[in-house]
Structure 1
């Protein structure tokens, strides 16, 4: 079954051409040789991105392969301006970045609901011949053509906005945790890559407060080079305030797994190393207090909690720590 979560689209876009200025002279019954009165051409239509907080995916743009704005109208006699071309407004989720598909250069980024940014500007309309009358040239037979619109292949990428991003190998228990602490219903099964798309959940907290948690698909060693599900999922982590690393209690070497996860994030984007981090040892219902005490000696040097989504062990403490870090 094809997923409805689309975080990447590519399309050809072209803003409208500016209309041509008019070469025209005033001609009336009693004014056989009036001066120039050619009007200006209209502006070509812009292509605009607009943030919409009710959208969580780029699915609605998946099948739009060609997006072309309207051209500006040509100027006319009587100094009448051409009509401006109609703008095209594309509504996108907050966290959407537009890039030039050929150069990969960032064009615009949408970070707020209702925010509008011009992706491609329409061409300016040409000036009519009324502007070119001089003492030595009373009958200019020249007007500017309109400036052409801009055309580009454009990539839109969505980076999820969440307070907490769950980071871990497949089967670390991230989806299970999200389903326990929020109303999200991610697909859960005991095999790698069950989570093929990011899942968002709103986690209720004390006194009617809440925060957003994102279950990012499990990364594997080499994800930054495109192995496994590749770096298309790593980009969602870039916008999270806190990274919650999850490693199961039955992992062969917790310290080694944490080092690999950190390495993958650093290779993808070194700035991720500046984010607040927590480590949760999941499936800790498999451990007794003596085993937990022994494991603490072998853990990475990071604030760590033992949790179990099955028994609820450490879940409230985890939420408390997350809230303190978000609001500090």
Structure 2
């Protein structure tokens, strides 16, 4: 039996939530790692992380950190990616970047393996991971797009605080305790830490994720619009989004309305979703079975339910889509792209 080829892998942002998930997935899925290099900011350098029973020391991420690296998996913020990803690619690594730094760059493929893996093979050193809320939506809609075509998508999201980082999780938990204890709440992080005004997230819903653009939509909403068109390779699909932060720790939920180009039978729609790669159909209203963030948390798949016809538009369809935003929405999509590139080599 031939020895399996192994690869030198660098994880940039190794101490962050997504970085930690990437490291766990590399171990759980027995990714063919030869050497694992863990990179982070200077303040995290020197800490250790255990991988397959071995302690690995975190190093400061620098331009020359990528010599000999085959895959560089980035999740350390857009500024870090913009600075270091080109260096990693120059050293010959395939960069898979989790930030928004390169998503809309026409030279960079924006990839969800179940949807447009073919795009990844034309990379020029950097592959972008889409936004978490976009990933789960396009994974569920792809089989319907292929079969019927899509004219329009209107999506409202119900997004977990983990999408805003560890500080947002801590804020939710702290505020929840304070409200229950009758203490005053002092918001400091959400909706956007760098903005002067903050709102309570405990027992609340905040209709703002990221900052507003001139058209009245937020950057998060415009990411969904622009990324969906790029991934589907179709600028004619009309997309509108309203993105809302809710007091859930893990798992984004989405109410999605689509207008298909062709007439459809509901049973065929459900069959397509049932058979779609990476998608799990959970749709039994009589038994109150539908996707829940609490059940999607910790799982790699995208869950779809509440599939029903619109009451007025003859080709209108409603779906409820849920996925773990740190796994399929980030870490798993990243590792999955690398796995698919390796498979194609064989």
TM category (shorter chain) comes to: under 0.3
Q: Point out which structure has higher relative CO (alpha carbons under 8 A, 6+ apart).
A: 2
TM-score (norm 2): 0.23
TM-score (norm 1): 0.24
Whichever structure has more helix as a proportion of its residues is 2
